[in-house]
Amino acid sequence: MASPSRPAFRYQPERRISWPEGAKCAVMICFDIDGETTALSENPAWKDRPTVMSQCLYGPQIGVPRFLDVLEAYDVPATFFIPTWIVEEHPDMAIRIHESRHEIGAHGHLHEKLNECTPAEEEEILEKSLAIFARVLEHRPIGHRAPWFETNPGTPELLHRHGFRYSSSLMGDDIPYQHTNGLVEIPLQWHLEDWEQFAFHPADPKWGVMPENPDKVFDLWWSEFEAMHDFGCCFVLTLHPWLSGRPSRVRLLERMLLGMKEKGDVWFATGSEIADFVASGAKEKKSGA
């Protein structure tokens, strides 16, 4: 008899992509290390508010080391999208990530909203970021995530022109696909992002007004994972270390990883691994660039 919490569903969706090694779904664990740029990109005057800035600083100083230890303990690769202001301000943190088996992707310089930039400004930000990655880490990222997930119509072509192989900013699907220029898109969704669950700022309601209980968030995320596992999707979870690096939320990620490992048939992969798999001929659908 089927469990009441896991009924025998009648609708069995057709899988639109065949994942490596017979996996039923892919899982991409992402960390957007916005740190202090979370505040500075919104209001430069907040640099003089020690409590606000210390809340954001918690991510690079405390959250990131914790998450690196968790990922090592569970043998799970991850993708870290880092604004290059953070790379310059916290080089030791960035170097530690780079020397691990995890991936580093581009995420603006000061977490700029690209939809508010002209094409020339957007390209200037990208080129500045690439120069900083090369200088500090001797690294050239091949993945890009737009801050706030906001892109422009010309963003895919700009990324392709600068040698990027994938983007993870759009939300129009739940499996990866290729733009017409070959750039791979790894879609995500607000549903699987911790900002809506945990962000809080006493002076700015845009940051949230009531942090959620991790048990409620686990139910939210786990229900989506189980369904995406059934549907053969790519589960992209986005965490911010200044939010999810707090102890109870670290345990939340551990609960997710434990459950996924026990479920089985899961391909844990970085963005570049997923992009290479799709570009090599995996079944995908096309989207306009």
Residue of 169, 272, 192, 173 lying closest to 240 (CA atoms): 192
Angstrom distances, CA of residue 182 to CA of 28, 94, 159, 268: 20, 29, 11, 23
Residue of 71, 82, 96 lying closest to 250 (CA atoms): 71
Show Cβ contacts of residue 75 under 8 Å, excluding neighbours closer than 6 positions: none
Say which DSSP state 172 is in. S
Query: In this predicted structure, what is the pLDDT of residue 205?
Result: 79
HEC profile of 184-225? EECCCCHHHECHHHHCCCCCCHHHCCCCCCHHHHHHHHHHHH
Tokens 């706030």 belong to 148
| pLDDT tens, the chain, 289 aa long | 444 567 889 998 999 999 998 999 999 999 999 999 999 999 999 999 999 999 999 999 999 999 999 999 999 999 999 999 999 999 999 999 999 989 999 999 999 999 999 999 999 999 999 999 999 999 999 999 999 999 999 999 999 999 999 999 999 999 999 999 999 999 999 999 999 999 998 777 778 878 999 999 999 999 999 999 999 999 999 999 999 999 999 999 999 999 999 999 999 999 999 999 999 987 544 444 4
Beta-bridge partner residues of 287: 179
* CB of 107 closer than 8 Å to CB of 82: yes
As a whole number of angstroms, the distance between CA 102 and CA 120 comes to 31
Residue of 114, 119, 121 lying closest to 146 (CA atoms): 114
Tokens 């700029």 belong to 112
Give CA 117 to chain center in angstroms: 22
Give CA 6 to chain center in angstroms: 28
Query: In this predicted structure, what is the pLDDT of residue 4?
Result: 55
Query: In this predicted structure, what is the pLDDT of residue 225?
Result: 98
pTM of the model: 0.94
Residue of 144, 152, 248, 233 lying closest to 194 (CA atoms): 248
Show Cβ contacts of residue 148 under 8 Å, excluding neighbours closer than 6 positions: 111, 113
CB hemisphere CA count around 265 (13 angstroms): 14
Query: In this predicted structure, what is the pLDDT of residue 6?
Result: 76
As a whole number of angstroms, the distance between CA 277 and CA 258 comes to 25
